[in-house]
Structure 1
Amino acid sequence: MNESLNFIEQIIEEDIASGKHNGEVHTRFPPEPNGFLHIGHTKAICINFETAAKYGGITNLRFDDTNPTTEDTSFVEAIQRDIKWLGFDWEDRLYFASDYFGQLYEFAEKLIENGLAYVDDSTSDEIAEMKGTPNQPGKNSPFRDRSVEENLQLFRAMKNGDFPDGAKVLRAKVDMESPNMLLRDPLIYRIKHAHHHRTGDDWCIYPMYDFAHGQSDSIENITHSLCSLEFIHHRPLYNWFIEKLGIYPSRQIEFARMNVEYMITSKRKLLKLVEKGLVSGWDDARMPTIAGMRRKGYPAAALRTFCDKAGVAKRENLIEIELLESCVRDELNKISDRVHVVIDPLKVIITNYPEGKVEMIEAINNPEDEGSETRMIPFSREIWIEREDFREAPNKKYYRMGPGRNVRLKNGYILHCEDYKKNEETGEIEEIYCTYYENSKSGEDVSGVKAKGTLHFVSAEQAVKCELRLLDYLFTDPTPDGHDDKDFLDFYNEDSIKVVDAYMEPALAKAKEGQYFQFIRNAYFTLDPDSTEDKKIFNRTVALKSSWKK
């Protein structure tokens, strides 16, 4: 067997070799439309689509929309948008569990007719108590031995809306003494007088997820149901339904979910962040949702690479966020334009440069791209540099600007620092006075003048103000939901976003969504959708270099 294969591929190749499913591979990605997709879903999407493609198979997109009170069409649209952005296409294979409500109902009646399901009048608390504990067997419901005829009559009355919510449920008759709690007569239908985003008010009973999910796979002839590890205990129940109903035998295979430091992958907890106003929405650039990561500036290719490098495992593990950021950084290095933006400005006046003169200097957009175009940036007598790029008394290891020192401007001239002015009250440096070497603009020091440091800059008169959102991790702890004694919100990072104004070169005024930029010597940034023609807003995506400490 090929050792380079992951365990899912090994199983599939064994199935193909044995002729199972006629050698076909048909997978599906089955999200619930009750929130946005997150980093964990990214892995599931990649595994399902890429595994099928590797073996010449196909992948369905199916929404398991069985809970009308939490689902919405806006989530359906957002999920489709995210999957396409990641680079995957389900073509014409878009399905919904609600497409199969009629067939699922017939399955339920078949179980009743075969004495394998019954209507229970017990309350949810009573049912929970009957189920016992992992160390204690459950007890049969007093309604478990109802006749087939009575169960059919009651179930049809449930369907017709004759009972209020919670009055009755339909349960599968499996084994109340099973060590697997999920097999202790699980609920398969409940009453919900709620409007469904697709079926409207056609139904007032809805199948439970565990009943709809496996059967929907079977209806679609899914050969390999690839899902995350939390569903491993559900597999015996899915197999029980398949066996008792005599339907297509989809095979469920579980893999470890994607757990990444400083991120959470619980929709319930992500929803809590949204509802409490701790983030601006599901697509907040600090969120671990696909929409949030896209807004932050993570390229789709970087997320796919990350999933590939993280691998397909059988056991849960915690992946260092540095691996994700490294994949993002590597991709951005290839595709980002290098641009001049000054965040903490300090004015430099070039005393021997003509007043009123504006010179256009050529700059290459991306030196990593052989076919990269160039653009022109303005240079004038007064420029802005970063405040940290000047020291009154620099040491030998400091190669930036200081009194009596030479420094090169990126794409521009070499300057010599002559003097500076301080604010008499605060002691803060207000202006730097320099001269420039007129024949030093080229990449070579044709003047014979040496400069060890290189600074980025913007022309003071032509620079355009912009807003930067300096993003940090949403949580202060690498495992915010991994503490039994604390709530995940205890680790919410109050300083996860800092908004500052900056000066950018004028070409950035034409920046568009979906473009990626390296702010020279600072970090990678991308344009935020909140931007307008008059005000550009950029999100910090990732640092230029790792600050990770092993």
Structure 2
Amino acid sequence: MSNTENTKPTNFIHQVIEQDLEQGTNGGKVVTRFPPEPNGYLHIGHAKSICLNFGTAEKYNGECNLRFDDTNPTKEDQEYVDAIKSDVEWLGFKWAGEVRYASNYFDQFYEWAQHLVREGKAYVCDLSPEEAKEYRGWATEPGKDSPYRDRTPEENLDLLERMRKGEFDEGSCVLRAKIDMASSNMNLRDPILYRIRKESHHQTGDKWCIYPSYDFAHGQEDAIEGVTHSICTLEFADHRPLYEWFIENLPVPSQPRQYEFGRLNLNYTVTSKRKLKQLVDEGHVSGWNDPRMPTISGLRRRGYSPQAIRNFCDSLAVAKTDGTVDMAQFEYFVREDLDKNAPRAMCVVRPLKVTVTNYPEDQEEWFELPNHPKDESMGMRKVPFSRNLIIEQEDFAEVPPRKWKRLTQGVAVRLRGSYVITCEEVIKDAEGNVIELKCTYDPATKGANPEGYKAKGVVHWLSADNSVPCEVREYDRLFAEENPDGDKERDFLEFINPESLVLVEGSRCEVGLANAAVESRFQFERTGYFCVDSESSEDKLVFNRTVGLRDSWGK
């Protein structure tokens, strides 16, 4: 598996920074920023950007700002702001100083817009959106100048101020930069600087009814904050000439540079914010933090640890091309982390009753089992054994297949860490379903592995009298298609995996897990890795399946 060995992935941005440091560029400083738009929850692609920006600052003793590019109040919300801050902190990163917002600089942006107008490099345009689209031209043919392009600076300043005061309706006019309507780069064809949005803003309230475009705000924010390396994903490469045009034509306090890297895509999922929002809004998932979602909050609720996510992101090359990573590679890092750090426990997901007929009815004894087979520092736990037990339904077969190493009639099997039992009788209901096994135990086989006795197999178990009821949510990949976005003739929703969530009630777990904290992670022996769900309460213990013990997808 690529990038899971002790090989160092390529990172061209670090190569650039090291060259800058050698040459004394930027005074030997490294300042990065993570600039999300607060119009949705962060996903695994953002995690790569977070790790790159914050990790780069850490590596070179620099600073990384958290800044919200909140220039579109129609799609933004304080809920998203709070969720993004929580995600960054949960991943273990700290931003420099206070949280920053594009809206902190709205007054400065407006002054710079006026500066461009005075310089004859911006104008108020009254073309309708439909007309503006027609005038813009196509990639294969140049656009044509707006009939309002030659307004005088004095007229444009007056119109811009009237826009700011709310005298015009939404869509009636915009402020545009005067660059080149014949440019081969569509972003340079007189882009919009300000548009009218008569919406209240989550940070500035009703102070403004015009808002800067993302392109106009982005580079200037970097300049104000002294960002040295503005790192963004590859789709912004065509925007870089515009980024640089603003920096060159405004009296900004510094000269940041933009660098683009390939974004992270995972198969069997989507990372488009629009599509993730559609999944939430249409009820295909329970919310942004649904454990099937590729959002950071969803991965957290699923049971993925921040260290596993960081290890995965750090294993990826930072290159100038986009790429898709196999979900199995991500899950490798999740298993590797949980195998080292998750304590062991036993949970019977689909119980089958076992009566140990030669064990005293009124007796109970406790067995000590290690919390981790390779880490003694995690200590021991105690599990009760009684006459009435439960095992997994799938651990018994009336007609066992070849090489069967679990329970069947007349065959001895070890119950993990306790005794060897032998099934003597099978009880069925009226429909022929197996509902109980009558077994006997061998007192001489007490313990984890007594000398001189080898059972055919090992199964996990619980006392039916002294265990905790729980609900198990078996999560799998949200999409059954490797590339749900790949078929342009079909809606991506058609590929939702109908087995992505299976609710199992009637499960039981060790009594010691009764008060397990939310987000606690465990390896349920022989079953997989699980996490205590945020919906758990004193009355209902809920476990989410994080990942299986091995990759079995598609096998």
Quickly name the TM-score band, shorter chain normalised: over 0.9
1:498-513 correspondence runs (5 A): 498-501=502-505, 502-513=507-518
- Residue 530 (1) aligns with residue 531 (2): no
Indicate conservation of the 8 Å contact 2:9/2:318, yes or no: no
SS in 2 for 1:216: helix
Q: Which amino acid aligns with 1:470?
A: E
SS in 1 for 2:494: helix
Query: Match for residue 312 of structure 2?
Result: 306
SS in 1 for 2:180: coil
Indicate conservation of the 8 Å contact 1:177/1:184, yes or no: yes
Query: Match for residue 152 of structure 1?
Result: 157
Residue 46 (structure 1) aligned to one of 41, 48, 51:
51
Q: Which amino acid aligns with 1:347?
A: K
Deviation of 1:514 after TM superposition, in Å, equals 2.3
Deviation of 1:69 after TM superposition, in Å, equals 1.2
Give, in whole Å, the separation in 1 of the partners of 2:291 and 2:10: 35
Q: Which amino acid aligns with 1:327?
A: F
Deviation of 1:358 after TM superposition, in Å, equals 1.2
Q: Which amino acid aligns with 1:488?
A: F
Relative distance call for 1:138 and 1:76 in structure 2 (3 A) is same
Residue 335 (structure 2) aligned to one of 329, 334, 353:
329
Show structure 1 runs of 4+ deviating over 4 A. none
Deviations 1:75-100 (A, max 9, x none): 11110000000010014241100000
Deviation of 1:43 after TM superposition, in Å, equals 0.3
Deviations 1:116-171 (A, max 9, x none): 00000111111111111000100100000000100001001111111111111000
Moved more, 481-490 or 158-167: 481-490
Q: Which amino acid aligns with 1:15?
A: D
Deviation of 1:4 after TM superposition, in Å, equals 6.9
Q: Which amino acid aligns with 1:414?
A: V
Structure 1 unaligned residues grouped into runs of 5+: none
Query: Match for residue 68 of structure 2?
Result: 63
Query: Match for residue 479 of structure 1?
Result: 483
Query: Match for residue 492 of structure 1?
Result: 496
Q: Which amino acid aligns with 1:455?
A: V
Relative distance call for 1:38 and 1:103 in structure 2 (3 A) is same
Query: Match for residue 551 of structure 2?
Result: 546
Deviations 1:298-332 (A, max 9, x none): 00000001111122121111100001000001001
Deviation of 1:427 after TM superposition, in Å, equals 1.6
SS in 2 for 1:439: helix
Deviation of 1:549 after TM superposition, in Å, equals 6.0
Residue 290 (structure 1) aligned to one of 293, 296, 304:
296
Moved more, 20-29 or 485-494: 485-494
Moved more, 366-375 or 515-524: 366-375
Q: Which amino acid aligns with 2:473?
A: R
Indicate conservation of the 8 Å contact 2:9/2:317, yes or no: no
- Aligned-residue Cα RMSD (Å) equals 1.3
Indicate conservation of the 8 Å contact 1:406/1:450, yes or no: no
1:370-519 correspondence runs (5 A): 370-395=376-401, 397-423=403-429, 425-446=430-451, 448-501=452-505, 502-519=507-524
Indicate conservation of the 8 Å contact 1:359/1:378, yes or no: yes
Residue 207 (structure 2) aligned to one of 183, 202, 208:
202
Indicate conservation of the 8 Å contact 1:347/1:430, yes or no: yes
Residue 182 (structure 1) aligned to one of 180, 187, 200:
187
Deviation of 1:449 after TM superposition, in Å, equals 3.2
Give, in whole Å, the separation in 2 of the partners of 1:421 and 1:484: 54
Deviations 1:460-515 (A, max 9, x none): 11122111111111112121122222222121223311101111121111111121
1:208-287 correspondence runs (5 A): 208-247=213-252, 248-287=254-293
- Residue 138 (1) aligns with residue 137 (2): no
Q: Which amino acid aligns with 2:258?
A: Q
Deviation of 1:347 after TM superposition, in Å, equals 1.0
TM-score (norm 2): 0.96
Indicate conservation of the 8 Å contact 1:159/1:203, yes or no: yes
Structure 2 unaligned residues grouped into runs of 5+: 1-7
Give, in whole Å, the separation in 2 of the partners of 1:97 and 1:33: 11
Give, in whole Å, the separation in 2 of the partners of 1:72 and 1:549: 39
Give, in whole Å, the separation in 2 of the partners of 1:246 and 1:15: 24
Q: Which amino acid aligns with 2:504?
A: V
Deviation of 1:394 after TM superposition, in Å, equals 2.6
Q: Which amino acid aligns with 1:450?
A: K
Equivalenced residue count is 546
Give, in whole Å, the separation in 2 of the partners of 1:134 and 1:368: 61
Indicate conservation of the 8 Å contact 1:59/1:93, yes or no: no
SS in 1 for 2:378: coil
Residue 117 (structure 1) aligned to one of 109, 114, 122:
122
Q: Which amino acid aligns with 2:353?
A: K
SS in 2 for 1:420: strand
Indicate conservation of the 8 Å contact 2:30/2:61, yes or no: yes
Relative distance call for 1:221 and 1:72 in structure 2 (3 A) is same
